[in-house]
Chain A
Amino acid sequence: MDLQAFFLPASPGQRFALLQAPDALTKARAAVVQVHPFAEEMNKSRRMAALQARAMAAAGYAVLQIDLLGCGDSSGDFGEATWEAWLTDVELACAWLQQQTAAPLWLWGQRTGCLLANEAANRMQRPVNLLFWQPVVSGRQFLQQFLRLKIAAELIGGESKGAMERMRHQLQRGESIEVAGYRLSPALADGLEKSELLLPHRSGRVEWIEVSSRPDAQLSPAAAARLTQWQAAGQQVRGSAVSGPAFWQTSEISECPTLLAASLAALSEARAA
C-alpha cells in the first residue's frame, strides 16, 4: 500500500493532502475524495476518517483526503475560509486524483462535507458517485446550531433570541464572529446558510449512511423523507443506518466500526450493480 502526505498548490496557498492507495494506483477500483466536516466536528471525525481511508486503500481504492482552506494543516486561518473557496478546493482535489487514475470517482462527504460534495458534483462535467456520512441536509439549520454554541448560557435563561439576533446583525454588517474558538466570516456563514442537500443532477449513485445509538438502527425520519423524494425523481440512491456512537460530536474520540464496514460494502456493491 502506498501512503503519501504532500501539499497541493492552491489559491491562496496550499492544501495538506494525504493519499492512500493500492501500489498499482492505475488499477484502483475507484478514486475516492474525502470532504471533511465543519470546525470541531472535523477534529472529532479525524480518527474515523483515517481508519476508513486506510480500510478503503487496503480494499483497493485510491483515497485522497484534503484539509480545506483554513482547516487542519492547510494554508490560512479558519476565518479566511469561504464556502466558495471550499468548493474550489474539492474540485482541485478531484482534478488531481483524476490525473493519477481513471477509476470511477466517488466523493465521500461527512456532515456538512456532504453539502459541499453534492454541490461540487453538480458542477462537474462527468458523473460522480456520492457516499454520505450522516449528511447535514440544511445548511441554514446547521448554521443556527453552530451559532447556538456561543449562546448556550443565554439559551437556558430563555434569552437566546436577542443574542442570536445580535450575532446575525454582526454578520450582516460584514463582521466576523467567533464561535467555540472558530472565527466565522460572513462569506462562510452566507454560503453555508444557502446550501441545501438538493437532488443531485449529475450523480451516479448516492449511498447515504446514518449512525444511530439504538441497537435497531433506523434512518432518521428526516433522511427517509428526502430519500423517498429522490427515488421518486429517478435518482439511484440507497439509505442505510448502522448502530454506533455519534463520533463527530461525542466528548471523547470514539469509533464506529459498523460504519467502516457499511461504507466499504456500499462502494463494492455499487461497483457490482
Chain B
Amino acid sequence: MDIRNEVVAILDEVLSLKGRASGFSLDTPLLGAIPELDSMAVVALITNLEERFGLVVEDDEIDGSVFASLATLIDFVRGKLAA
C-alpha cells in the first residue's frame, strides 16, 4: 500500500481540491494554509483515514500539529499502522 498516495487522495477528496493535492510536496503546509481545511474538514479527514486504513484514532492522539504539513500527516498514519 502506498501510504503517501492514499493520504493525498483522501485529502483531495475530503477537501474537494479537484486534483490540486496531487501537486503537494511533503513540506506543503496544510492547517492554516489551505482554506478548505477547517475544523469540520479535519474531523472528516480523520474519519476517512480511520475507515480507509482500518485505524482507530484516540482523541488524545490528535492536535493541530498532526495536520501541519503533508509530511506530518503521513508520519501520523505510518505511526498508527506500525503500532
Query: Using a CB–CB distance below 8 Å, which chain A residues touch chain B?
Result: 141, 144-145, 148-149, 151-153, 155-158, 160-161, 164, 213-214, 220-222, 225, 245-246, 249-252
Contact call A155/B1, Cβ cutoff below 8 A: no
Tell me if B9 and A156 are in contact (CB < 8 A).
no
Looking at the complex, which one of B12, B56, B58, B63 makes contact with A158 (CB distance below 8 Å)?
A: B63
Q: Which residues of B have CB within 8 Å of A249?
A: 14, 44, 47
Residues of B within 8 A of A225 (CB): 54
- The answer on a CB contact under 8 Å between A157 and B47 is no
Name the contact of B16 in the complex, choosing from A149, A151, A157, A250 (C-beta under 8 A). A250
Closest 3 CB pairs of A and B: A158-B63, A222-B54, A152-B39
A245–B64 contact, CB under 8 A? no
From B14, B50, B59, A161 is in contact (CB under 8 Å) with B59
> Which residues of B are found within 8 Å of A152, using beta-carbon distances?
39-40, 42-43
Instruction: Say yes or no: B51 contacts A222, CB within 8 Å.
Output: yes
Q: Which residues of B contact A144 (CB under 8 A)?
A: 59
CB pair B16 A252 closer than 8 Å: yes
Cα–Cα distance between A109 and B69 once the two chains are bound (Å): 37
- A-B contacts, 20 of them at CB < 8 A, read A141-B50, A145-B50, A148-B46, A149-B43, A152-B39, A153-B39, A155-B42, A156-B64, A156-B67, A157-B64, A158-B62, A160-B59, A160-B60, A213-B12, A214-B9, A221-B52, A221-B54, A222-B54, A250-B16, A252-B16
